[in-house]
């Protein structure tokens, strides 16, 4: 790990374990991107910056046409100064212009990495991380644009963010500020991204780059079900195990944009950051603004290589929870068992039956507070509905005596019109004065940009947590932001509301975790509608999807694994017919798929027959046997296509490569679909070691990696699955 600068060549290098990132100061003071990829020698590569002259390309006064910003690979581009591509930053001045420049001023290279005020950010001990700060000047205003890069001694991931400091004598409005930019001198890449909708989130899509603009975004105030704030640019020949791939991942839970442009010269620019459609920021004299952090990563070993980097980095340098290296309790959630129709006796009976099967925690979902008996009232009234629950502390104590933990559902960011809170504080709702409001699931959105709203929620939720031994909460968010207007801000600052909302959500998380540091929080947003790296800074796991159908979950979970570790994915066994797809599959198949996440149950255990009860006992035992490997091992997708085919397989390999667990599934069978023999090649093993497959013989790692194992007999029929446990002799 080393960051260096050559005064002779004016070149910066960031060298990680296996990659090199290089840029230089151009003749006009611009930062030119030179190289990003596999490690290269310490050579002068500044010639990479030279480009041929192109017709009609403007260039800075006093320089030649070859210095045009429009034909250069740039490190960070700005609006209106001769670069006609989509640009990363625009600062509006009081004279009306948004023309912005970015000219080198100074730089520093230091040990350590400072946190980002109010925002999630990667971290490491000071001696394990280096940070480069390059300060650029907007010559049209005097504002400073500070580019920050951090590299870590155990990772190839580079953390990036941008800070704007208003050094001018006037107010500046930030109209666009992307967190990271990557320029390529080719467009011969495929774009891979995660696309979906409610109950079908994060399916991996792969499409060739086309000339022009492409990308995706959220304007919903959250990262959303529809896309995920990360993108991969992959070489045409990239597979799971080989080929060059580049990733960008945003640590942010609000509206974002991924923008990719391939120009007429077949160059490519990719950027990621806050969505400018829902953002502007008024920056007074002397003030500063920090962008969310973005992670960039490169792998020469295909998609699984990139995923391994991302998984390890998020675990080691983003997730802070004391639970991240701890086996999570197996839970049963009452929602699909009871919905709103429950009493304290019914909840206790559910816990009692679950405890006999080895389940370790009961989670009481929606309906325990206010006058909540349906989805039309009481959000915001965070006090116990004693008619249904009785004495919450007593109920929790009774459940604890069964040897079970207790968890509780909250939806802090929402408010019902029929609620005591709305009667008292109607001004706390996001709404435009004099205009109609939108409803979603019969609820409105609290204005989390207001400090008094965050204060109220903290005291209300903390009061509940203090009243009983509550060790887990499920934090839900069941609608997106509309009418994004705050009565607490003046007209010129209304563009700040969406970002301030996210900062309020982060602040509430921070305050709760400061008082309850061992609290296990699972994020949720109508399922997987806010599954992002920013949220993982506060919660170690997120409910992957409201769709608990195991066949659908294969593609959802394998798509999610492009960036996110198995231990972050909330995955449960649910009842059949499934409540979302009305499909029935075997209890074993449901369990094997859910084993790839945090594991739990979404069903009424009091109504199961003896066969299913015994299956739960076996699944509980399997979870305890394999979870350390699943949680801490290196994850590999074995089959191509991120689970879109009828057969999918994945595995985890221990750090010492002495143990592996393979899961193989067939969704649907069909006659004469393929060769009678189907072999899985298992990556990541030690070629020289000999592995015993539980109930299946012994083979050298080289055989298992290059020839594979025959799974044909185990994958016959629809919705069938098999586990293969390998241990080195």
List, by residue number, the catalytic residues. Answer: 476, 546
Q: Is 116 helix (H, G, I), strand (E, B) or coil?
A: coil
Closest to 661 in 3D by CA, of 677, 684, 679: 684
Structure tokens at 132: 């480069």
What tokens were used for 382? Answer: 């965070």
Residues 147, 160 contacting (CB under 8 angstroms): yes
Which H, E and C letters describe 304-319, residue by residue?
HHHHHHHHHHHHHHCC
CA dist., res. 218 & res. 249, Å (int) = 14
User: Which three-class secondary structure state does DSSP give residue 477?
Assistant: coil
Measured CA to CA, the distance from residue 142 to residue 148 in angstroms comes to 19
Can you say whether the dihedral through the CA atoms of 69, 71, 75, 80 is positive or negative?
positive
Distance between start and end Cα atoms, the chain: 35
One DSSP character per residue, 360-427 reads -EEEE-SSSBTT-SSTTS-TT--SB-HHHH--HHHHHHHHHHTT-EEEEEE-TTEE-SSSHHHHH-GG
Among left, alpha and beta (phi > 0; psi -120 to 50; other), residue 29 is left
Nearest to 281 by CA among 23, 448, 447, 498: 498
Residue 193 to residue 309: CA distance in whole angstroms: 17
**E-state strands within 155-267:** 158-165, 172-184, 189-195, 203-208, 212-217, 230-235, 245-251, 256-262
377, 443 Cβ separation under 8 angstroms: no
Contacts of residue 375, Cβ cutoff 8 Å, sequence gap at least 6: 366, 441, 442, 443
In 3-state terms the chain splits into helix, strand, coil percentages (rounded to 5) of 25, 30, 45
Of 232, 266, 259, which Cα lies nearest the Cα of 247? 232
């Amino acid at each position: 790990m080393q960051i260096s600068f050559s005064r002779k060549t004016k070149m910066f290098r960031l060298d990680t374990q296996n990659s090199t990132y290089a840029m230089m100061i151009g003749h006009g003071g611009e930062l030119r991107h030179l190289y990003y990829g596999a490690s290269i020698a310490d050579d002068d590569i500044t010639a990479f910056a030279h480009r041929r002259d192109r017709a009609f390309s403007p260039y800075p006064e006093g320089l030649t046409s070859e210095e045009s910003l429009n034909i250069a690979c740039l490190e960070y581009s700005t609006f209106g100064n001769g670069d006609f591509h989509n640009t990363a930053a625009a600062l509006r001045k009081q004279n009306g212009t948004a023309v912005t420049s970015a000219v080198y001023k100074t730089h520093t290279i230091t040990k350590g990495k400072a946190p980002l005020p109010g925002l999630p950010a990667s971290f490491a001990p000071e001696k394990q991380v280096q940070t480069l700060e390059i300060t650029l000047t907007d010559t049209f205003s005097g504002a400073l644009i500070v580019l920050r890069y951090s590299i870590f001694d155990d990772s190839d991931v580079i953390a990036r963010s941008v800070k704007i400091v208003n050094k001018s004598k006037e107010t500046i409005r930030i109209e666009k500020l992307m967190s990271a930019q990557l320029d390529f001198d080719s467009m011969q890449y495929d774009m891979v991204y995660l696309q979906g909708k409610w109950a079908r989130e994060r399916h991996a899509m792969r499409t060739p780059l086309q000339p022009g603009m492409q990308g995706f975004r959220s304007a919903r105030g959250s990262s959303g079900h529809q896309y995920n704030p990360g993108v991969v640019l992959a070489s045409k020949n990239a597979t799971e195990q080989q080929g060059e791939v580049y990733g960008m991942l945003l640590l942010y839970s609000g509206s974002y944009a991924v923008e990719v442009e391939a120009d007429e010269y077949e160059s490519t620019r990719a950027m990621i950051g806050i969505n400018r459609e829902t953002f502007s920021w008024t920056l007074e004299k002397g003030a500063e603004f920090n962008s969310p952090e973005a992670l960039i990563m490169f792998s020469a070993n295909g998609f699984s290589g990139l995923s391994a980097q991302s998984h390890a980095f998020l675990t080691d340098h983003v997730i802070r929870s004391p639970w991240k290296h701890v086996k999570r309790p197996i839970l049963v959630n009452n929602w699909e068992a009871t919905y709103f129709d429950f009493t304290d006796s019914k909840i206790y009976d559910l816990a009692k039956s679950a405890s006999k099967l080895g389940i370790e925690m009961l989670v009481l979902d929606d309906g325990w507070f206010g006058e909540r008996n349906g989805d039309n009232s009481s959000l915001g009234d965070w006090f116990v509905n004693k008619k249904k629950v009785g004495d919450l502390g007593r109920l929790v104590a009774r459940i604890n005596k069964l040897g079970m933990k207790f968890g509780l559902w909250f939806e802090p960011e929402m408010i019902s019109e029929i609620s005591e809170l709305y009667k008292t504080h109607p001004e706390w709702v996001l709404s435009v004065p004099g205009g109609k409001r939108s409803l979603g699931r019969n609820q409105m959105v609290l204005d989390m940009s207001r400090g008094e709203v965050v204060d109220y929620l903290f005291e209300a939720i903390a009061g509940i947590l203090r009243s009983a031994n509550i060790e887990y909460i499920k934090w839900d968010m069941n609608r997106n932001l509309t009418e994004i207007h705050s009565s607490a801000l003046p007209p010129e600052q209304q563009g700040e509301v969406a970002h301030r909302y996210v900062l309020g959500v982060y602040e509430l998380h921070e305050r709760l975790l400061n008082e309850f540091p061992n609290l296990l929080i699972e994020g949720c947003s109508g399922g997987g509608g806010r599954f992002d790296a920013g949220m993982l800074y506060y919660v170690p796991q997120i409910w992957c999807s409201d769709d608990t159908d195991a066949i659908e979950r294969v593609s959802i979970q394998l798509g999610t694994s492009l960036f996110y570790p198995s231990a972050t994915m909330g995955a449960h066994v649910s009842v059949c017919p499934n409540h979302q797809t009305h499909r029935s599959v075997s209890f074993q198949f449901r369990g094997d798929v859910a084993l790839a996440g945090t594991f739990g149950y979404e069903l009424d255990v009091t109504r199961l027959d003896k066969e299913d009860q015994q299956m739960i006992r076996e699944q509980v035992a399997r979870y305890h046997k394999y979870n350390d490997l699943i949680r801490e091992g290196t994850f590999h997708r074995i089959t191509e296509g991120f689970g879109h085919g009828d057969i999918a397989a994945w595995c985890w390999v221990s750090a010492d490569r002495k143990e592996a667990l393979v899961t193989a599934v067939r969704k649907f069978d069909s006659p004469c679909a393929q060769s009678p023999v189907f072999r899985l090649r298992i990556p990541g093993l030690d070629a020289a070691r000999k592995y015993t497959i539980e109930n299946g013989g012994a083979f050298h790692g080289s055989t298992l990696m290059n020839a594979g194992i025959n799974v044909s007999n185990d994958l016959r029929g629809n919705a069938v699955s098999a586990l293969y446990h390998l241990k080195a002799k």
